[in-house]
Structure 1
Amino acid sequence: MNIWTSISSVIIILLLIALGYVLNEKGWFVEGFNKSISNLITKIALPCSIFVSVLKFFTKEKSSSLIWPMCGVIISYIIAFLLSKALRTRKGRIGTFRASFVNANAIFIGLPLNIALFGEKSLPYFLVYYIINTISLWSLGAFLIAKDSKDEAHSAQKITFKKLISKLLPPPLLGFLVSIVFLWFEIPVPEFANSALTYVGNLVTPLSLIFIGIVLNKSGLKSIRFDKDTIGVLLGRFVISPLVLFLLLLPIPLSSLLKQTLIVQSATATPTVTPMLAAEAGGDVDFATNTVATSTILFLFVVPVLMQLLQFV
Structure 2
Amino acid sequence: MLSAIIFAFNITAPNLILMASGFLLKQKGVIDAGFVATASDIVFKVALPCLLFLSVLNSDIHFYAQLDLLLAGVCTTFLLYFLAEIYAKFFVQDICDKGVFVQGVFRSNMAIISLATVTNAYGEAGLSVGAVYMGLITILYNILAVITLSRTDTGQGFWQKSLNMLPKIIKNPLIIALVSAFLYKAVNLPMPADFVLKTGRLFANIALPLALICAGASINAKSMFALTGVSMQASIGRIVVAPIVAVIMGVGFGLSAVQFGVLFMMVASPAAAASYVMVKAMGSNAILAANILAFTTVFSMIGMAVGMAILRILGWV
In structure 2, C-alpha distance between the alignment counterparts of 1:198 and 1:271, rounded to whole Å: 25
Please tell me whether the aligned partners of residues 146 and 278 of structure 1 are also in contact (alpha carbons under 8 angstroms): no
Look up the match of 1:109.
Answer: 113
Cα-to-partner distance string for 1:10-33 (whole Å, 9 max, x where unaligned): 222222111111111122224422
Task: Tell me how many residue pairs correspond in the alignment.
Answer: 309
What is the TM-score when the length of structure 2 is the normalising length? 0.89
Look up the match of 2:40.
Answer: 38
Deviation at 1:105, TM superposition (A): 1.1
In structure 2, C-alpha distance between the alignment counterparts of 1:28 and 1:275, rounded to whole Å: 25
Look up the match of 2:189.
Answer: 187
SS of equivalent residue, structure 1 residue 250: helix
CA, structure 1 residues 228+168, in 2 after alignment: closer, same or farther (shift >3 Å)? Answer: farther
2:131 to 104, 122, 127: 127
SS of equivalent residue, structure 2 residue 273: coil
Look up the match of 1:247.
Answer: 248
Look up the match of 1:140.
Answer: 144
Is residue 209 of structure 2 the alignment partner of residue 206 of structure 1?
yes
Q: What's the RMSD between the two structures over aligned residues?
A: 2.3
Deviation at 1:169, TM superposition (A): 4.7
Deviation at 1:118, TM superposition (A): 2.1
In structure 2, C-alpha distance between the alignment counterparts of 1:175 and 1:108, rounded to whole Å: 15
Is residue 81 of structure 2 the alignment partner of residue 80 of structure 1?
no
In structure 2, C-alpha distance between the alignment counterparts of 1:35 and 1:281, rounded to whole Å: 20
Deviation at 1:69, TM superposition (A): 0.7
Deviation at 1:156, TM superposition (A): 9.2
In structure 2, C-alpha distance between the alignment counterparts of 1:56 and 1:153, rounded to whole Å: 45
In structure 1, stretches of 5+ residues that fail to align are: none
In structure 1, C-alpha distance between the alignment counterparts of 2:125 and 2:46, rounded to whole Å: 21
Amino acid at match of 1:284: N
CA, structure 1 residues 174+164, in 2 after alignment: closer, same or farther (shift >3 Å)? Answer: same
Look up the match of 1:267.
Answer: 268
CA, structure 1 residues 8+223, in 2 after alignment: closer, same or farther (shift >3 Å)? Answer: closer
In structure 1, C-alpha distance between the alignment counterparts of 2:120 and 2:161, rounded to whole Å: 37
In structure 2, C-alpha distance between the alignment counterparts of 1:300 and 1:179, rounded to whole Å: 30
SS of equivalent residue, structure 2 residue 45: helix
Is residue 98 of structure 2 the alignment partner of residue 94 of structure 1?
yes
Is residue 290 of structure 2 the alignment partner of residue 289 of structure 1?
yes
Deviation at 1:268, TM superposition (A): 0.9
Paired-residue identity, %: 21
Cα-to-partner distance string for 1:99-122 (whole Å, 9 max, x where unaligned): 111010112211112212221211
Deviation at 1:154, TM superposition (A): 7.9
Amino acid at match of 2:183: V
In structure 2, stretches of 5+ residues that fail to align are: none
Is residue 226 of structure 2 the alignment partner of residue 229 of structure 1?
no
Please tell me whether the aligned partners of residues 43 and 211 of structure 2 are also in contact (alpha carbons under 8 angstroms): yes
CA, structure 1 residues 283+145, in 2 after alignment: closer, same or farther (shift >3 Å)? Answer: same
Amino acid at match of 2:146: A
Please tell me whether the aligned partners of residues 270 and 296 of structure 1 are also in contact (alpha carbons under 8 angstroms): yes
Look up the match of 2:72.
Answer: 68
Look up the match of 1:12.
Answer: 14
